[in-house]
A and B are shown apart, each in its own frame.
Chain A
Amino acid sequence: MVMDALLSENDQDCENKDDLISGLPDVVLAQILSFLPSKVAARTSVLARRWKDVWRCVPDIELTCHPDQSASESMAFFATVNHVLSHRTTAQIRKFKLSFYSAGVTELYCIYCWIQHAIWRKVREIDLNVMDVRPFMLPPELFTCKTLVSLKLQSGLTFCVPSLIEFPSLKVLHVIGNVTEEMAERLFSCCPVLEELLIEGYKEDHVAVNLNIVAPVLKKLNIFLESHIGDQIVIDAPECKYICLQFTAKLVVKSLSSVIDAYICLGNCFGRPGGHKPDYSEYVYQLFREISQVQILTLSAITMFTIRFALHQNLSPFPNLIELSLNVEHCEDWQFLPVLLNNLPNLRSLNLQKNTLCDHERDYDWCSPESVPQCLLSTLMYVYFQGLNMREDELKMIEFLLKNGEVLKQLTVMPIHLALEDAEALANRLVMLPRASESCDVECCKDYCTSP
């Protein structure tokens, strides 16, 4: 928006201006072009003589082949990459980003050579996005590349990894796609200075992977892995501050004691009574113990479901937790809330969210804790409940929070799929509930209600 406004302002008076940009030194012009895809950068060659060769000294290469391009266009794309690589005048390649959708054997060989070329040119960032499904061997020297700071592999390809892996400078590693056994075992424990790790993928059904993460200075960890209880994930990341974990594999936490912000979606739907043995909760409890210093915590519906079967276990307190978000699908899953509240002495903000699309829910008796949790007496200021309906059990829960929340400032509920008149009735009922905190605002947000 800002850019557009600026363009229109300057459009009229640009004709008689002196050349604004050509007087800049090559290195600055190259930096400008480095923010553009290589194709766009190359087009500046026809602006004027001054510009003919500037694009060739840009240290960043970014090339994309769109999915709707024909086979011949795709061929042209490979010719283009070769052209760009062979026309460069700088010694270093800083960033090499390549996106395309399908590749034959010849093309895969090209990619292999390009990556080798980038390694020779002391590449710092590689970002490879290939939507094709076949095994592919990356050049072995990639895995010992000393200059590489960022490696992003997003692909349907099955990458084969060598036995020797050593990334002395790698700070950012993203793997999106097929996570093979060898990769899981070796790739994520050979990066001594890694700060950011993202694993988002799936694995072959018949193999059990053992995902081994050893990262002494890791700050941010995201794992979304289609997995099952036969797989295992080991995490040793003592400095890690942010985690986002989503899988059903066995979890072994060696260290995660610096976490301050966590999103946890662990477990499976097999824990139902009469179903599979509900033992996954042990892993969740183990994780809870390890991240006890967390400040912001979000538990997904699946996690709430999983731990519902382990309420008998002793939960260790979270002394620093100030913001808690819980998602549930069934009312019964609120059973964990009183247990949690008893262990959160400094909770300030509680966000509750329920998926209201399940119709056939069992009734659930809200069971107030025997004594009022500490956070309700002294710290809990904000409660937000999205998806509250007219269920008596949930209203009892709200009633308990209002009746005992001594320092509550704001309670907001947002009904979903409720008729407007029912929402009015709900709002009236909420306003009538006794409140421990006189200054507490009670608000019913009707944005998602259905009009008659």
Chain B
Amino acid sequence: MSKLGQAKRIIFLKTADGQLFEVDEPVAMEFEIVKSFFDENEDAADDTVVPLPNVSAEPLAGIIEFCKAHVEFRANGAAGKDEVKKFNAEYIKEKSNEQLKELILAANYLNIKEMLDFLTETIANRLKNKSVEYVRAFFGIENDFTPQEEEAVRKEYEWAFEGVDED
């Protein structure tokens, strides 16, 4: 956090596709990878650009939007309240599957626990009570088992397929 009388510190982040992002310090520090960069380089100049070679601009923008909102929620003491759930639901509603995947990959790389928890739980909810065929189709998973192999796996985990309540 900035000290009294000082301007807010801005962190510069550069994505794989060469875009430069200017992010408020508290938001950038949500990214564990950025935080440890500065922890390890204590004397880094204020205009240091942190390279993020595994993240492109689009997911990063989405991640900044999410983290910014959550930093504010926490500052206002709204963490865990309905307001947050509403924001999360709205946030995810607008995202396509492809965007969601990019977000998870990026959140995993940047190591943002809160966001990763939220995204993985969202995916888990979509897997609940769905048939194997549905899940394959929904996520575009190609079945590379031969019929015999698949049968063998089903037999091995027979207990998991008993009494299945599918939607």
Report A's interface with B, CB cutoff 8 A: 2-3, 5-7, 10-11, 14-25, 27-28, 31-36, 39-40, 42-52, 66, 69, 73, 76, 79-80, 83
B-side interface mostly: helix
CA distance A16 to B160 in the complex (A): 29
Q: Are B139 and A19 interface neighbours, CB within 8 A?
A: yes
Q: What is the size category of the interface that chain B forms with chain A?
A: 35 or more
A-side interface mostly: helix
> Which B residues lie within 8 Å of A49 (CB)?
144-145
Closest-by-CB residue of B relative to A3 is B125
Q: Are A24 and B104 interface neighbours, CB within 8 A?
A: yes
B74 at the interface (CB under 8 A from A): no
- B3-11, B25-33, B150-158 - the one binding chain A: B150-158
> Which B residues lie within 8 Å of A31 (CB)?
116-117, 120
Interface residues of B in 115-149 (CB under 8 A from A): 116-117, 120-121, 123-129, 132, 135-145
Q: Are B127 and A45 interface neighbours, CB within 8 A?
A: no
The 10 closest A-B pairs by CB, nearest first: A35-B124, A42-B160, A17-B140, A21-B139, A80-B159, A32-B120, A31-B120, A20-B139, A2-B89, A20-B101
Given contacts A46-B132, A48-B142, A49-B145, 8 further A-B contacts (CB under 8 A): A6-B93, A14-B139, A18-B98, A24-B104, A42-B160, A43-B164, A80-B159, A83-B159
CA distance A3 to B121 in the complex (A): 12
Q: Are B108 and A28 interface neighbours, CB within 8 A?
A: yes
- Across the interface, A46 reaches (CB within 8 A) one of B105, B137, B140, B154, namely B154
Q: Are A19 and B142 interface neighbours, CB within 8 A?
A: yes
Known pairs A19-B140, A24-B104, A48-B145; A40 contacts B128 (CB<8 A)? yes
Known pairs A6-B93, A14-B138; A43 contacts B163 (CB<8 A)? no
Closest-by-CB residue of B relative to A1 is B89
Known pairs A23-B101, A40-B127; A47 contacts B116 (CB<8 A)? no
CA distance A17 to B127 in the complex (A): 17
A selection of 10 A-B contacts at a CB cut-off of 8 Å is A3-B126, A14-B137, A17-B97, A17-B140, A20-B101, A27-B108, A42-B159, A46-B145, A46-B154, A66-B163
CA distance A45 to B157 in the complex (A): 8
Q: Are B139 and A6 interface neighbours, CB within 8 A?
A: no
Closest-by-CB residue of A relative to B161 is A43
> Which B residues lie within 8 Å of A20 (CB)?
97-98, 100-101, 139-140
> Which A residues lie within 8 Å of B154 (CB)?
46
Q: Are A28 and B132 interface neighbours, CB within 8 A?
A: no
Q: Are A48 and B127 interface neighbours, CB within 8 A?
A: no
Q: Are B105 and A43 interface neighbours, CB within 8 A?
A: no
Known pairs A2-B93, A10-B96; A48 contacts B126 (CB<8 A)? no
Known pairs A19-B141, A20-B100, A28-B108; A42 contacts B157 (CB<8 A)? yes
Interface residues of B in 89-113 (CB under 8 A from A): 89, 92-93, 96-98, 100-101, 104-105, 108
Q: Are A48 and B143 interface neighbours, CB within 8 A?
A: yes
Q: Are B120 and A48 interface neighbours, CB within 8 A?
A: no
Residue of A2, A10, A46 with most chain B CB atoms under a 10 A cut-off: A46
